[in-house]
A and B are shown apart, each in its own frame.
Chain A
């Protein structure tokens, strides 16, 4: 490859060196080109297309009969959408907080020179390897009051034990949180464990020489230095939360009623099952708006960080 580049450079112009530079300048752009094309078409092109559809009354297949903001109006008059949005708020918030808390806690525990660390870590991490299409049935059983945890506890002698969240419209969203935390918290643990291993040992030693106890060291010295990890984890978790779809499809299918619907499921149901592509596109645009609200601060800090380097 390089041979080609060198040859092209030497034969291009008599000026030699500048021509070589300009070819070297072009090479990065050439190798990036496929990705650029793919991104422009498959990310931004499709987004614009979806935006256009959200202003049409498309039903089973896309049509271009424009109706202004009608779909958005219908969307926000739709009780099911409002339930889905508020579920995303509850689910997303709790999911992110609990995952961060558990992830940090387990990472710190595992960082105490634990025997069989590898095995335990693998156990915490494995849920990330499997999708809810695989574990959905097992989770449904575990959470179901008539044959799951509740039944087991009653048979073990805890007669009054009740765990019927899956069938309670007010509580079912917390079932989603449990299953989602189970899946993602191990991954957060791995991120933080990696972060902890990367913390400068000298800093910790210095703190301990100053007489700081183990808890103080963690609180004052180590955790603050993991700020970038917090940030990465936050971004990864919020993307999981917004994209959550399999989880609902496998665990509750939106029920009881539609009390456990999430926006991705709403969008899918309307665009594909109910032949309301226009409404589905409008809900997709609102979801994309939420995504950008998370992403822009992240990107801002990324690019600002760049300038400092």
Chain B
């Protein structure tokens, strides 16, 4: 790979002998928190070792909403960053518009097709060509629980949604908040899709990937909405607008018993000095134990004119799959590495469970893309689903039947 980068830039050298093969790579991302920044620094250092300059363009906020505004504004100005944190179907949208650059040579050199599971490499490709590099795989359908509260309330960890409500009743009676939740659209959707997943992967895929109208209007969907609304009874009154990490801290501090949240929640437990399996336990969300809702973070590479930047870009893609980076980043974030066959001894039991479930589910079609995290559908459909789900959760008078009808119509209208 280094040879290729050198070869590419030899043209640049012959023109302007000063620059060598070093280039600048501007990276737009929203990994701004302490732990994330530390992991990004690993990548930055690897880039610096290769002689490149890393220009950090971080824009936090709302799952990358502000960052997306920046990306659009820069793309339209004809000055996109060399790399940007985009994921899922959004990569396809940018590919359609012709903004992304080809990474096939790096991928071939690095044997990405062998190293990456098919489900990951599919997301990274546009029209059969690699255009993005993955950093991790998150499992979204986790349930985090405080075993102390379960013991005090005499409840057992639920493995179905019916058991969930039984346990929640006992916990509520014992004076704790059963479910720690934050009332933000994406958190509502995370809870909602976990309940839908318990109806089976086939149902989930038909509803949120194929957007099949019959499935969307089915009795099963009505039941999903009804159960979803029922969880509202087990949430504390101040949940509206709460950030997910505040909800996690309720479980950590022993105020709440459970939280349905992706594996990034583990970072909060770790930061609070809690141990997996002792202070907190991780289980698949009720009824979804063999299933895996994935959310893959990635950096897509944009077409840039500068040759130095181009070679830096290719090197960046190569380095992102380096084991050192994959390990550090994922240990910090709570996710699992995107590439296969990594040493797993440094990861904890929850991550091991995640890795096992990932491998097992990929052979049984139980590996499904997360709708709540923009892996299943484009942002238009996702927004339409969010509106219905979050409005239903906060509206006392709307029935599950009405919600199903609205969902089907909203999805239709957004296509």
Contact surface of A with B, Cβ cutoff 8 Å = 59-62, 74, 77, 79-80, 140, 144-147, 164, 166-167, 169, 172, 252-259, 268-270, 272-276
Contact = CB atoms under 8 A, between A and B. Distances in A.
Contacts of A74: 413
B413 A77 contact: yes
B383 A274 contact: yes
Interface string B206-247: 000000000000000000000000000000111111000000
Contacts of A256: 183, 240-241, 390, 394
Contact of A167 (B69, B75, B97, B239): B239
Contacts of B183: 167, 255-256
A85 to B, nearest CB: 15
Given A258-B390, A258-B391, A146 B238 contact: yes
A146 B237 contact: yes
A4 B241 CA distance: 63
14 contacts: A60-B72, A61-B97, A74-B413, A77-B413, A167-B239, A167-B241, A172-B240, A256-B183, A257-B395, A258-B390, A272-B65, A273-B69, A273-B383, A276-B414
Nearest to A83: B391
Contacts of A272: 65, 68-69, 72
Contacts of A253: 62, 184, 241
A252 B241 contact: yes
B378 interface: yes
| Interface majority SS (helix, strand, loop, mixed), chain B | helix
A74 B409 CA distance: 12
Nearest to A259: B394
B413 A275 contact: no
Nearest to B93: A60
Q: Which are the 3 A-B pairs with shortest beta-carbon distances? A: A146-B238, A257-B394, A167-B240
Interface of B: 62, 65, 68-69, 72, 75-76, 93-94, 97, 183-185, 236-241, 378-380, 382-383, 387, 390-395, 413-414
Given A167-B239, A272-B65, A257 B380 contact: no
B240 A275 contact: no
Contacts of B65: 269, 272-273
A144 B184 contact: no
A59 B92 CA distance: 13
A64 to B, nearest CB: 14
B315 to A, nearest CB: 28
A258 B395 contact: no
Contact of A61 (B75, B237, B379): B75
A60 B237 contact: no
A259 B396 CA distance: 13
Given A60-B97, A62-B76, 5 more contacts: A80-B387, A80-B391, A256-B394, A257-B393, A273-B62
Contact of B390 (A167, A257, A270): A257
A117 B377 CA distance: 59
Contact of A274 (B62, B380, B391, B393): B380
A59 B380 contact: yes
